[in-house]
A and B are shown apart, each in its own frame.
Chain A
């Protein structure tokens, strides 16, 4: 069995990941919380209700959730994945994999720490690399997907572990609720099928596909309206 840890932050994605992992009784060998103590946002009743239907509570902060269940975790007061203190900690613990909830680029020192990092990207690669890909795939294909892959220096170009497609949602909370939901759902399915144990990952053709950048509000509105109007 692979030894698996998770690196959380105080954001919605981490809320969905840790809550669904705990509720589905998945064993984690280490939990790290990168906590920049940012102020929790207020969510509408509708948002909270939809998140609960998806299996997590968006209004429950990560640290509070862990403390209430007396789950032990290591807390750092920074969010930089390339921070030397974090690299030292990761090296000392020598797990096989860390699930990394954040975005951004991992630099050589952390990539060479002896542990592999898994990212859940909201797009089917190689077609959809980069940012806010689910909006683009809703506009193009009417659905969206998630890719679990092993992180490397180049963005969204690592070996593919698992991919899953989802129907477009019938509500407007794509950033806050739907994105964390589809990523966490894919994570649970990947772990339930023990896909990290056989290491039978698929190489990506790095010359294929496209890199998307943050979606413009006009296209974002078109994507969300497409979800709502087609309801």
Chain B
């Protein structure tokens, strides 16, 4: 008999976006399936992990190496991530983050480039963009406890897990691991708190 699997990261979510509308309630077992599914992916991501300081160093280096691409989504997301890690409070940067969050929540895709909040590219398969936005959302949740950020991180991580077969750079593997482990630790804390373990 086939064991039921966590169904929200199975098939390519970039090709077949998940709307998450009226999802079915499946009891405590569903949460266990979610945990098992995430654990499987975390195992595949290797044993080394990033601290906040490592993330800052890696992203800063990458940002310095790509000054000529300063209007792409990846450049903007790295900029937002550095601001958050450094605890800078810039309302324009925050508005930019909210724009990307909204774009993903509505279309479940992040395009390579946006001009004046409108997409200016046909590419939405750059997995690094999803990983960066996921890490930013997790860090924002850690700072604010606002569930809307955790909500987006869960959806982003579903998407990244569903695309996991695609090769990504080692640094981004570690970033993704940071995000997934953080997400799972937050969710298991919630599960404990309400007695749903």
Which residues of A come within 8 Å of B, CB atoms? 136, 139-140, 172, 175, 210-222, 224-226, 229-230
In B101-134, which residues have CB < 8 Å from any A CB? 102, 105-106
**Those 10 A-B pairs whose CB atoms lie nearest each other, nearest first:** A213-B105, A216-B154, A217-B23, A225-B196, A226-B194, A214-B20, A229-B195, A216-B151, A172-B25, A212-B148
**Distance, CA A230 to CA B31, complexed state (A):** 18
Q: A225-B194, A225-B196 in contact; A219/B148 too (CB < 8 A)?
A: no
- 9 CB-based A-B contacts, threshold 8 Å: A139-B147, A140-B147, A213-B102, A213-B148, A213-B151, A213-B152, A218-B34, A219-B151, A225-B194
Q: Known contacts A216-B155, A217-B23: does B194 contact A222 (CB below 8 Å)?
A: yes
Query: Chain B residues in contact with chain A, CB under 8 A?
Result: 8, 19-23, 25-28, 30-31, 34, 102, 105-106, 146-148, 150-152, 154-155, 158, 187, 190-191, 194-196
**Nearest Cβ in chain B — how far from A88, in angstroms?**
31
Residues on the A chain within 8 Å of B8, using CB: 217
Asked if A212 and B151 make an inter-chain contact with CB atoms under 8 angstroms apart, the answer reads yes
Return chain B residues, CB-CB under 8 Å to A225: 27-28, 31, 194, 196
Residues of B within 8 A of A175 (CB): 22
The reply to whether A222 and B20 contact each other, CB–CB distance below 8 Å, is: no
CB contacts (< 8 Å) of B31 on chain A: these are 218, 221-222, 225
Contact B30 A215 (CB under 8 A): no
Q: Per a CB cutoff under 8 Å, which of A140, A215, A216, A222 touches B191? A: A222
Q: How far is the CA of A136 from the CA of B149 in the complex (A)?
A: 12
Contact present for B30 and A221 (CB under 8 Å): yes
Q: How far is the CB of B141 from chain A (nearest CB, A)?
A: 11
User: Which of B27, B106, B146, B150 lies in contact with A219, CB distance below 8 A?
Assistant: B150
Q: Which residues of A contact B22 (CB under 8 A)?
A: 175
Q: Chain B residues near A218 (CB, 8 Å)?
A: 31, 34, 154, 187
Quote the shortest CB–CB distance from A174 to chain B (angstroms). 8
Q: List, in ascending order, chain A residues with CB within 8 A of B105's CB.
A: 213-214
What 17 new A-B contacts, CB under 8 Å, besides A214-B20, A216-B154, A229-B195? A136-B148, A140-B147, A175-B22, A212-B148, A212-B151, A213-B102, A213-B151, A214-B21, A216-B158, A218-B34, A221-B26, A222-B191, A224-B25, A225-B196, A226-B194, A229-B196, A230-B194
User: Residue of A at shortest CB range from B101?
Assistant: A213
A215 touches B151 (CB 8 A): yes
B148 and A222 within 8 A (CB): no
Chain A contacts for B27, CB-based, 8 A: 221, 225
Other-chain contact of B147, A136, A172, A221 (Cβ < 8 Å): A136
When distances are taken between beta carbons in the complex, the residues of chain B under 8 Å from A214 are 19-21, 105
A140: chain B residues within 8 A (beta carbon): 147
Alpha-carbon gap, A25 to B145, bound state (A) = 45
Chain A residues near B195 (CB-CB < 8 A): 229
A135 to chain B, nearest CB (A): 9
Most chain-A Cβ atoms within 10 A of its Cβ — which of B8, B21, B23, B146?
A: B23
A221 touches B25 (CB 8 A): yes
Report the minimum CB–CB distance from A137 to chain B (whole Å). Answer: 10
Q: By the criterion CB–CB under 8 Å, are A219 and B23 in contact?
A: no
Q: For A216, what are the chain B residues with a Cβ–Cβ distance below 8 Å?
A: 20, 151, 154-155, 158
For B147, B155, B196, which residue has the most chain A Cβ atoms within 10 angstroms? B147
Find chain A residues with CB under 8 A from B20 CB. 214-217
**Which residue of A172, A211, A215, A222 contacts B196 across the interface (Cβ within 8 Å)?**
A222
Question: Closest CB of chain A to B33's CB: distance in Å?
Answer: 10
How far is it, in angstroms, between the C-alpha of A220 and the C-alpha of B30 when the chains are bound? 11
Chain B residues, Cβ within 8 Å of A212 = 147-148, 151
CA distance A175 to B21 in the complex (A): 10
Asked if A220 and B34 sit within 8 Å, CB to CB, the answer is no
CB of A169 to closest CB in B, whole Å:
12
